[in-house]
Amino acid sequence: MSISNFLKVFSVSCLAIANCSVSSIAQAADANVIELTYSAAQFQCGEGNELVDIQVNVYRNSQFVQTLSVEDSVYLPINSFDDLTFQYNFIDAECAPIDNPEEMVLAPEDPVPDLAGVYEQDSLQEILDGLNEYEELFIVELGTSDSESSAYDFQDVVMLINNKPAFSD
Ligand SMILES: [Ca+2]
């Protein structure tokens, strides 16, 4: 990717960074740019209720970048996915996420963890099977930390990590 393309791309996410500065651009010069797409949210406050609208605040190196709703994408220059942290907000819901949501990144060849939610586990495998080699899944469990629970399915929030966005050639 050329420097001008990189700066163009960076400036996109820069729009949302309150104190985006020349130094932060310089700092990001060694970083890889990923495209993060919020694919799906699937959470109910109790069985039979509507799916909760979950908005996700994205932070890079502890700085707020952008709020994502389902189907939103953002380009993020990062050195590692660990640079990113997330905050999950339930909109107009009668319940709230657990205090310490559990997050996981899965690459295409990774084994799908042995989760209680068998049906969901199958579809997680299907999503993984459909990924390109440069893509990964970011999956989140917001309902329970009890790995024996059928709610422990890591599909409350699902995001696609594209490590090779189209512009990067
Ligand atoms: Ca869950």
Tell me: the pLDDT tens digits for 66-84?
999 999 999 999 999 999 9
Residue 12 pLDDT > 50, yes or no? Answer: no
**Amino acid found at 118:** V
The residues spanned by each domain of the chain are 3-168
Cα distance between residue 105 and residue 127, in whole Å? 13
Q: How far is the CA of 110 from the centre of ligand 1 (A)?
A: 20
Q: How far is the CA of 103 from the centre of ligand 1 (A)?
A: 11
Q: How far is the CA of 84 from the centre of ligand 1 (A)?
A: 21
Q: How far is the CA of 151 from the centre of ligand 1 (A)?
A: 4
Q: How far is the CA of 113 from the centre of ligand 1 (A)?
A: 14
Region 97-116 average pLDDT? 91
The rounded percent of the chain whose pLDDT value lies above 90 is: 63
Overall pTM surpassing 0.75 (yes/no): yes
For residue 12, count CB atoms less than 10 angstroms from its CB and return exposed for 0-12, middle for 13-18, buried for 19 or more: exposed
Q: How far is the CA of 99 from the centre of ligand 1 (A)?
A: 14
153 versus 11: the higher-pLDDT residue is: 153
Region 150-168 average pLDDT? 89
DSSP assignment letter at 22:
H
Secondary structure class of 141 (helix, strand, coil): strand
Strand extents, DSSP E, the chain: 32-41, 53-60, 63-68, 73-78, 84-91, 102-106, 135-141, 157-162
Give the model's pLDDT for residue 125: 86
Cα distance between residue 86 and residue 66, in whole Å? 10
Give CA 91 to chain center in angstroms. Answer: 18
Q: How far is the CA of 143 from the centre of ligand 1 (A)?
A: 5
Q: How far is the CA of 92 from the centre of ligand 1 (A)?
A: 18
Q: How far is the CA of 101 from the centre of ligand 1 (A)?
A: 10
Q: How far is the CA of 78 from the centre of ligand 1 (A)?
A: 28
Radius of gyration of the chain (CA): 17
Block residue for tokens 């310089």: 26
Q: How far is the CA of 86 from the centre of ligand 1 (A)?
A: 16
Q: Please check whether residue 18 is in contact with residue 62, taking contact to mean a CB–CB distance below 8 angstroms.
A: no
